[in-house]
Amino acid sequence: MLEKLENVENRYKELELKLSDPKVISNNKLYRELAKEESDLGNIVKQYRKYKKVLADTQSAKQVIKETNDPEMHELAETELEELEEKKQDLEEELKILLIPKDPQDSRNAVVEIRAGTGGDEAGLFAGDLFRMYQHYAENNKWKLEILSSNPQGIGGFREIIFLLSGEDVYGNMKYEAGVHRVQRVPTTETSGRIHTSAATVAVLPEAEEIDVQIEPNDLRIDVYRSSGPGGQSVNTTDSAVRITHIPTGLVVTCQDEKSQHKNRAKALKVLRSRLYEMALEDEQAKLSQERRSMVSTGDRSAKIRTYNFPQSRVTDHRISLTLYRLEEILQGEIDEFIDELKIADRAEKLKLMD
């Protein structure tokens, strides 16, 4: 660990020098990247310097104990040594956590896609419930929410809704929501009062910028058509809807929410870019050994991650076996306890791999 910390401090000093170099200052992109790296390493270096001071003070206290003949000085040094040993252990634990490699995607915005799964209209209603849950969660965190595409169903809810969340560490929190969410309740369409199980799938993608993914115009087939379904007076009177097909991968993105074809095209490209970026990240992760991938936050879309049981007002996260009997509050966006516990479990897995 000490060798790693020494390397981190050396890199931090190197970054400090680079950030004062006029050539770096004049290159906005490079300067931003290096400034972010320096900021990320800053807390580790600060704690490491505290740790080095504690080690030096420990040596001094031991020296006093060894050399002094004064009983009072000896007792003071013994007391100081005990306190320093405690500080040393606390700092070692903190430094272990700080040394866990941070997911570079965590600070990005997130594109969230919710799709109705098994359960017909009831699954669509549940997809709407999940969207409103994330809407409230975004408000609680002072994040901005922008709907990129939606496919509402007649009785309420959505067959599919895609939206962008912008703010601080959005992806770092939302990535734990990726997977299959299951609901158990009596549907409003059910006359006999039987409990049904339905599902919706949540995908969470780090928002990609143009510099992350180069899309060649020749690789795109863009179709425009008239919007259909619920859409207000003028939405479906012009060819404003856009369907973009990425020919090399076969990915298809449609957007018809805006009255402007230009705006629909821009939103569809934003979604396509994020999907292509996610595919590239998945290829990278596939190269890692299975042990290095966290089961808590891989975002496997086929994995059942959470069940919302209405009769018992119970929500269970199956990855960490955590059950909370606060269903109404959770649907109002109070999902912090789940996300906090998932982060702890994720960190514990990574600490094990470091040992």
Which among 270, 286, 302 is the end of a domain?
Answer: 286
Residue 297 has a pLDDT of 55
On whether both 322 and 188 belong to a single domain, the answer is yes
CATH number at residue 33: 1.20.58
Residue 303 shares a structural domain with residue 279: no
Please tell me whether the overall predicted TM-score, pTM, comes out greater than 0.85 for this model: no
How far is Cα 49 from Cα 275, in angstroms, rounded to an integer? 42
Res 228: pLDDT = 66
pLDDT (tens, 9 = 90+) of the chain, 355 residues, equals 788 888 889 999 999 999 999 999 999 889 988 998 898 888 899 999 999 999 999 999 999 888 888 888 989 999 999 999 999 999 988 888 888 777 888 889 999 999 999 888 899 999 999 999 999 999 999 999 999 989 998 888 999 999 999 999 899 999 999 999 999 999 876 767 788 999 999 999 999 887 788 889 899 999 988 776 554 444 455 678 899 999 999 999 999 888 888 999 999 999 999 999 888 887 766 655 444 455 555 545 567 999 999 999 999 999 999 999 999 999 999 999 999 999 888 888 877 766 5
Residue pair 105/298 in contact (Cβ under 8 Å)? The answer is: no
Selection from 155, 105, 163, 103 nearest residue 134 by Cα: 163
Quote the CA–CA distance of 44 and 281 in Å, as a whole number.
26
CA distance 54 to 334: 40
Count the Cβ atoms, other than its own, within 10 Å of residue 53: 13
Of 6, 99, 87, 98, nearest to 54 by C-alpha is 87
Same domain, 174 and 318: yes
Beta strands in the chain (DSSP E): 110-116, 144-152, 158-166, 179-185, 196-206, 220-225, 241-246, 251-255, 304-309, 314-317, 322-324
> 286, 311, 329 — which closes off a domain?
286
Statement to judge: residues 202 and 335 lie in one domain: yes
Instruction: Tell me which H or E stretch contains 354.
Output: helix 336-354
| Structural domain range at position 308 | 110-211+294-354
Domain count, the chain: 3
Output the pLDDT for position 284. 67
Per-residue confidence (pLDDT) for residue 102, from 0 to 100: 77
What integer pLDDT is reported at residue 238 of this predicted model?
A: 67
- Which of 259, 286, 313 is the C-terminal boundary of a domain? 286
- 168 by Cβ neighbours in 10 Å (0-12 / 13-18 / 19+) ranks as exposed
pLDDT value of residue 67: 87
Q: Residues 124, 180: one domain?
A: yes
Looking at residue 101, its pLDDT comes to 74
25, two tokens: 């200052």
For residue 44, give Cα distances in angstroms to 4, 171, 255, 332. 11, 22, 44, 36
CB contact set of 7 (below 8 Å; sequence gap of 6+): none
What pLDDT score was predicted for residue 341? 92
Residues 93 and 242 in one domain: no
For CA atoms 81, 85, 90, 92, give the dihedral sign.
Answer: positive
Are residue 172 and residue 80 in the same domain, yes or no? Answer: no
Q: Residue 104: inside a domain, yes or no?
A: no
Are 83 and 130 in a shared domain? Answer: no
Reported as half-sphere exposure (CB side, CA atoms, 13 A), residue 238 has a value of 11
